[in-house]
Amino acid sequence: MQTQKKELFTHNAQSIRDVIRYIRRFKNATVVIHLDDRILESPLFSSHISDIAMMHDAGLKVIIVPGAKKRIDDVLKLNNVSWQYKDDFRISEENSIPLIKMAAFDVSNKIMTALSANGLTALIGNWVRSRAKGIIDGFDYGICGEIDKIHIESLNTVLENGFIPIFPCIGWSAKGKPYNISSIKLACETAICLKADKLFFLTPDTSITEKDFVISKDMPLSPEGCIPALNLEELEIFLNDNKENQSSVINLLKNGLQVCKSGVSRVHILNGQIDGTLPCEIFSDLGSGTMIYKSDYGGIRKMNIDDISQVLSLMRPFIEKGILLNRTEQDLQECFSDFIVYELDGAIRACASLHIYNEVQGEIAAIAVDKTCSHMGIGPKMVSYLIDEAKKENLKSVFVLTTQTSDWFEKLGFIPDDIETLPEQRKQLWTKKRNSKLFRLNLN
């Protein structure tokens, strides 16, 4: 029981540290939230608004771009106005624009009212200049508009004054003519123009699982079976594997790809049916949706002296379970140049080491991955990195000694070997009491 209490306390303490670290990291960060208007009818709507208010109070600059598709549908049906879709644009008669405006502003007003109930001031503004989409290949897009310009200076003034801007999906021409514009494109363009740190798509039931998509066997999945993160290279492969899939999620992923390529660091696709999905995604490593990120999001680097305390904390649970050998701060100081770490948003989330013997054999050791990140495929990446390092050193083989993870190493291509094949220096440290098994990977 004492051990369970200790583990729970350690876990809670680390969670609190993570929250504080993320609050510091994202203070004054700019985030754009695209809010699907179906969320307004969800019992979790007020909870999501409270979370947005909390993000604002934590020092983030929040912009909300609500979708209004469902509300516009309802209003047009009520007024017996027909429409069709072409290339994701709503095509309807010219005199329907007042109804579309009414529906779009109705959604924005509901969000503004909900924010007001949380003590925040939001502004609905006309920061978007647009132009007619016009006639393409003989087809007249009528009242559909394209974004011409976003008035960034005015928008920044609103943000600096502590207000939350809300963008209806309506743009105006230079002469004041309104057009119906895509809220998704508007959210993307706003994030790009503001050089936002994050763009969120909060929409109902958007989990990316094997049930609805083709997912490579090499793709790490969360415990719930969802893809937690995709870098740009992985996303392009995923989109190619699912090129026949025409779902709305694919559309969000395609837009996310272009937004990241245009300078926004991260795009998050979140399931609005999960309570707390926004704060979990922004204030923890845990996450709750799928993140699209550029390759500088997290990465492997050499360990330095300043990392030792974090690495020891990372190793401790594995040492207590007998998975890793005990190591002291002095031990790490003496061989820190052998270690690599995986840094994620300023925190060390994994470590591993490569010890070289007689310029012939290398030992991969001290592999530890924070359990909150265990589904991200970091462990295999660390091992692969060290194998590449061993090849650069012209080593003939690398080996591991393990008591509880033999299956994992066999999956990575290591095969069982005799303890007698260990280099003499390492063989002297092997004990019958621990009885570690030897697995080896030949590099020639």
pLDDT in tens, 104-118: 999 999 999 999 999
DSSP assignments along 335-403, one per residue:
HGGGEEEEEETTEEEEEEEEEEETTTEEEEEEEEE-GGGGGGTHHHHHHHHHHHHHHHTT-SEEEEEES
pLDDT band at 286 (very low <50, low <70, confident <90, very high): low
What is the pLDDT of the chain when averaged over all its residues? 90
Distances (CA, A) of 109 to 33, 68, 172, 177: 16, 12, 19, 21
pLDDT band at 20 (very low <50, low <70, confident <90, very high): low
pTM, entire model = 0.76
Q: Is the pLDDT of residue 401 over 90?
A: yes
Q: What are phi and psi of 85, to 5 degrees?
A: -115, 140
Please report the pLDDT score of residue 9 as a whole number: 58
Please report the pLDDT score of residue 201 as a whole number: 97
Q: Is the pLDDT of residue 188 over 60?
A: yes
Q: How many CB atoms within 10 Å of residue 57? A: 11
Q: Is the pLDDT of residue 151 over 60?
A: yes
Q: What angle do CA 90, 94, 98 make, to 5 degrees?
A: 85
Please report the pLDDT score of residue 78 as a whole number: 95
Q: 180, 37, 195, 19: which is closest to 114 by C-alpha?
A: 37
Between these two residues, 83 and 345, which has the higher pLDDT value? 83
Q: Is the pLDDT of residue 362 over 90?
A: yes
Please report the pLDDT score of residue 294 as a whole number: 79
pLDDT band at 386 (very low <50, low <70, confident <90, very high): very high
The average pLDDT across 218-243 equals: 86
* Alpha-carbon span 2 to 89, nearest angstrom: 61
Q: Is the pLDDT of residue 331 over 70?
A: yes
Token digits of residue 398:
């690398």
pLDDT band at 6 (very low <50, low <70, confident <90, very high): low
Please report the pLDDT score of residue 199 as a whole number: 97
Contact, 279 vs 55, CB < 8 A? yes
Q: Is the pLDDT of residue 311 over 90?
A: yes
Please report the pLDDT score of residue 230 as a whole number: 87
Q: Is the pLDDT of residue 179 over 90?
A: yes
The average pLDDT across 120-143 equals: 93
* Alpha-carbon span 73 to 28, nearest angstrom: 37
The set of residues, in sequence order, having a beta carbon less than 8 Å from that of 27 and lying 6+ positions away, is 58, 59, 60
What crossing angle do the helices spanning 97-117 and 69-78 adopt, rounded to 10°?
130
* Alpha-carbon span 129 to 153, nearest angstrom: 13
Please report the pLDDT score of residue 347 as a whole number: 81
